[in-house]
Structure 1
Amino acid sequence: MTSEREPGVAVTADGPYLVSGPVRITRKAVVRSAAGEALVWASPRELPPAPERADGAVRLCRCGRSASKPYCDDSHRRTGFDGTEAAEPAGPYDEHAVSLGGTGIEVRDYPRLCVGAGFCENHAANVWDMTARTADSVVREVAMGMVERCPSGRLTYRLAADAPDNEPDLPVEVAAVADGPLWLTGRVPVRLTDGRELEVRNRVALCRCGASRNKPLCDGSHARVGFRDGDPEE
């Protein structure tokens, strides 16, 4: 995008997201093991640019029905999409996150933000069990990596109870995750239809299947409804 405006995402009433400012739009997929376990994020792939509106914004689909995903093609109008928001406004994470403890690290968890990406567990371990064993620096390192790959920021960690969250260095970007949410990174503000903003965070997962019960945030419903975005290269 070439607009010189500050980065931002606006949720429109029963319509698309409007992405403004220098926010790169990409495609990302999860690399999985033979057993289906989430391992890492594949390198992002640039998407062809979409036509910008007169105000420089790009429209991204959130009803899940566009034939031009991740871009909007006005399918929300034809299908009567109900995009009513249910997510809480500014500041929910510190108010609701539960501390899982740890040694040399404090892991926190806000389950309502879960999108089911699966980076937090595999056949050998999961973050919740590992936290009690983080006196072992190898275990601590693995737990940190799992938390940092969580796209929604459900899981965070800090190096001391009074320290800020230790966040990965992520680009100002919105990535269409294969058959999943829009992954917004780099502390881009999200404005709701009533003018309030969600808490500005480094990692936010936005619904694009249209079925989330926590709109505009993803709640993993894309798996429940079998959402497919039909990317011909995957």
Structure 2
Amino acid sequence: MYIMAKKEGLSVEEGSKMAPEKFYIKIAADGPYLLYGNPPIDQEIILPNEEGSAWVYQKGKHFETNENPVYLCRCGFSKHKPFCDGAHKHADWDSTETASHRPLLENAEVIEGPTMVLADNESYCAFARFCDAYGRIWNLVERAESEKERELVRREAGHCPAGRLVVWDKETETIYEPPFEPSIGIIEDPGIKVSGPIWVKGGIRIEGADGKSYEIRNRVTLCRCGQSSNKPFCDGTHASMRFCDDIPLEMRNL
């Protein structure tokens, strides 16, 4: 099952809704993300459960901004993260947008259980690891029948910041999406000692450098290490390269 809604010529993922028009992100060619509308920007710190698995987000530092637009770093070299300081002009990075404009879940793997269906597009994995909390979600959905089991599936899918995991009820075909207001999260992952992507919540439109908008989704993660192979979206590379806000790029792999 996958349905793509249309709104004013823009594609909106089923189960999501578009934020008010004042909120949007424009990707500058060879430059930063231009964030319009002044949505709140906060650190989102991944914290573990008693077994050490990713379980909750805790609000960290709030970033106060008055500019419109706000310039957010996407090259990974800024010394004023999450904001741009112009470092991209001299940095050795590839700003090319390589992600498809096709619906994220159009070619997703579909896993059907007795009461729920899970769709998964691994290319958009942000390596937040909530999907492994109490049994891997791909196994959980195949046996979920009780409300407790169903809620765990909804929880693990809903905590995926990238929205690579989407779950719906088989009988009603109702898609479960967390109720997000337009906002920006700067993910920090102390469990693996890395800084994660920019978490775009609440259906904020993202416009590429070519002027074409990507599919509008309730939850999206944008690369901020500068090394994703699926730009502008995060593909988890920040974890393998040990990207960290306070560690210079040239020292991260030492």
Structure 2 unaligned regions, length at least 5 = 1-19, 189-194, 248-254
Structure 1 76/34 Cα, relative in aligned 2: closer, same or farther at 3 Å?
Answer: farther
Q: Which residue does the alignment assign to 1:98?
A: 109
Q: Following superposition of structure 1 onto structure 2, how do residues 31-180 of structure 1 map, counting pairs within 5 Å?
A: 31-33=47-49, 36-49=52-65, 52=67, 56-89=68-101, 91-122=102-133, 124-160=134-170, 163-178=173-188, 179-180=195-196
Name the counterpart of 2:191. none
Query: For the residues of structure 2 that align with 1:151 and 1:206, how far apart are their CA atoms?
Result: 10
Structure 1 residue 5: Cα displacement: 6.5
User: Per-residue deviation at 1:138?
Assistant: 1.7
Equivalent position amino acid for 1:70 in 2: P
CA RMSD of aligned residues (A): 1.9
Deviation at 1:162, TM superposition (A): 6.7
Distance 2:51 2:240 in 1: 20
Q: TM-score, normalised by structure 2?
A: 0.82
Contact in 1 for aligned 2:141/2:150 (Cα 8 Å): yes
Q: What's the TM-score, normalizing by structure 1?
A: 0.88
The structural deviation recorded for 1:21 is: 1.1
The aligned length equals: 222
Residue identity opposite 1:37 in structure 2: S
Offset from partner CA, 1:40-90 (integer Å, 9 cap, x none): 1113542132x62xxx2010000011110000000000214321001111x
Gaps of 5+ in 1: none
Corresponding residue for residue 22 of structure 2: 6
Using the aligned pairs only, state the percent identity: 34
State whether residues 105 and 120 of structure 2, in contact with CA within 8 Å, keep that contact through their aligned partners in structure 1.
no
Asked whether the equivalents of residues 12 and 193 of structure 1 are also in contact (C-alpha less than 8 Å), the reply is yes
- What's the CA shift string for 1:116-165, capped at 9, x where partnerless? 1000003x511011111111322111111111100000101112377352
Moved over 6 A (4+): none
Alignment partner of 2:145: what SS? coil
Give the structure with the larger strand fraction.
Answer: 2
Q: 221, 232, 251: which one pairs with 1:216?
A: 232
1:181 counterpart SS class:
strand
